[in-house]
Chains A and B, each alone.
Chain A
C-alpha cells in the first residue's frame, strides 16, 4: 500500500455488501465506513465523520485490508477540480483539502505522539491540563476497541473504571456508565486525569485526542 495523503477517494466494495450483515464494528467505525461514498476524499470523509485524520487513516487501512473499501480512481477533470479548489495543484503530493485539526495549544502537543493506540506514557505529574470536555462514550469506545471482542472490551472498560476513585466520579455526579452510547461529558480536569491514568494503568495506552468533544 502506498502512503495515503488524504486525497484518495474510496468506495465500498462488493465484499462489504456481502459481509455487511456479519461485520461487527463500533459506532464511530461504522460512521466512517459508511461515509466512503466514492465521491469524497479520505480527508473529507474524516471530517464528515468527526474522526481525527490520523484515526481515519488507520481505519481506512484496516478497511482496505478487509477489502470493504477500494480506491475509486478519478478522472483528470475531477482531479484538476479538486486541486484547483484548494489552490494546491503543484504536481506533487496534495495535502488534504480541508482543515483537519484546530491548532493545538503548546501544552498538549506532547500527547499527540501517543495517539492512535501507540504505547506511550503521558506526562502524569504535570497536573490536569484543560483541553475541553471529554465524551464518556468516546472513552468507552476507545477502550472497547482495544479488545478482541465487544464483550471483552466492555469488561476491560469495567476494569478501567474500577480504578477511577469513586469520590472523583461522584463529584461529577456520574453514578452509572452506559457502555453503549453514554451521553455524559467529563468536564473537570481531576476526573479527566483520573480516567486517563486508569486507562494508562490498565491498558498501557494513552487516550487519543478523539475523546475530546469538538466545539
Chain B
C-alpha cells in the first residue's frame, strides 16, 4: 500500500513543528525542488533510513551558522562547539524518528539516526529523485531531504 502524500508530508510537518518550537515560529520554508542527480549536504546531517511502507531515507542537513543560532535559541549563551552541532542534529533526528514511529508503528521501520558532518560515512544510493525542502532561518539555511526508492511507496 503506497504511503499517501499526507503521510509523507508528516515527515516535513514534524520537522517544521520541532524547529519552529525552538525558533519561535521563525522557520520559513522556501520553494522545494526535485533533484534527479545529486544530494545536498550541508555541514551537519541527521539521517534516517526507511523500510516497510516507505523505502528510502529522510534527512535534515544544516549549516554551522544555522545550528549555532539554533543552539543559542535553545540553550542561551552556552559554549558552542562541534559536539553541539552533532547533539543538535541528533536531537532533531530523534524527534522526527520518535514521532514517525508513534504515527506509523511497525509498518514503517526507521533506522537509528546517523549523524555525520559534510558527507555520509557510508555511501548513500541515489534514488530516482529526491524531494528537497529548503528551510530558511535568519538568512541561514537548512534542508529537509526525502528520497523514496519508488513512487509506489
Contact = CB atoms under 8 A, between A and B. Distances in A.
Contacts of B150: 162-163
B5 A177 contact: no
A169 B34 CA distance: 12
Contact of A147 (B2, B5, B127, B151): B5
B37 A175 contact: yes
A190 B33 CA distance: 23
Contact of B36 (A151, A157, A174, A178): A174
A161 interface: yes
Contacts of A202: 151
Contacts of A178: 31, 33
Interface of chain B, helix or strand or loop or mixed? mixed
A211 B128 CA distance: 24
Interface of chain A, helix or strand or loop or mixed? helix
Interface string B57-80: 000000000000000000000000
A176 interface: yes
B9 interface: yes
Nearest to B130: A158
A196 to B, nearest CB: 15
Interface residues of B, number: 22
B8 interface: yes
Contacts of A165: 128
A153 B31 CA distance: 13
A46 interface: no
Given A178-B31, A179-B31, A180-B31, A159 B151 contact: yes
B8 A155 contact: yes
A166 B36 contact: yes
Contact of B33 (A163, A170, A176): A176
Contacts of B8: 155, 158
A119 interface: no
Nearest to B16: A151
Interface string A78-113: 000000000000000000000000000000000000
Given A147-B5, A155-B5, A156-B5, A162 B32 contact: no
Interface of B: 2, 5-6, 8-9, 12, 31-38, 127-129, 131, 146, 148, 150-151
